[in-house]
Amino acid sequence: MNPICDACGEGHTTIETDIIDYEYNGVVYQIKSYFKLCDYCGSELAGKEECALVNEQIKEIKHKVDNSHKHQTKIM
């Protein structure tokens, strides 16, 4: 059985995903957003676990971009 909705306490939630835009250093990247969707009230909830999954993707983008800029600086 899926967890009970934190918003209404009546429905059950399932993990859903959506693609969202994230902009870093003027470039737009598409990342996967995670949230819980309630089958009763329709609330979309993002808890600690869901936010951590999004933050992981953001850190990866920043790491790649920042390291790429360092590499370009060394070459010039």
Structural class in CATH, domain 13-75: alpha beta
Residue for token pair 């429905």: 11
1 versus 19: the higher-pLDDT residue is: 19
> In the chain, where are the structural domains located?
13-75
Instruction: Say how far apart CA 57 and CA 44 lie, in whole Å.
Output: 20
pLDDT of residue 46: 96
Give pTM, 2 decimals: 0.76
Structure-block tokens of residue 61: 């983008």
- pLDDT confidence tier of residue 21, bands split at 50, 70 and 90: very high
What pLDDT digit, counting tens, does each position of 47-68 carry?
999 999 999 999 999 999 999 8
* Residue 16, H or E segment: strand 13-24
- pLDDT confidence tier of residue 75, bands split at 50, 70 and 90: very low
Structure-block tokens of residue 21: 């835009």
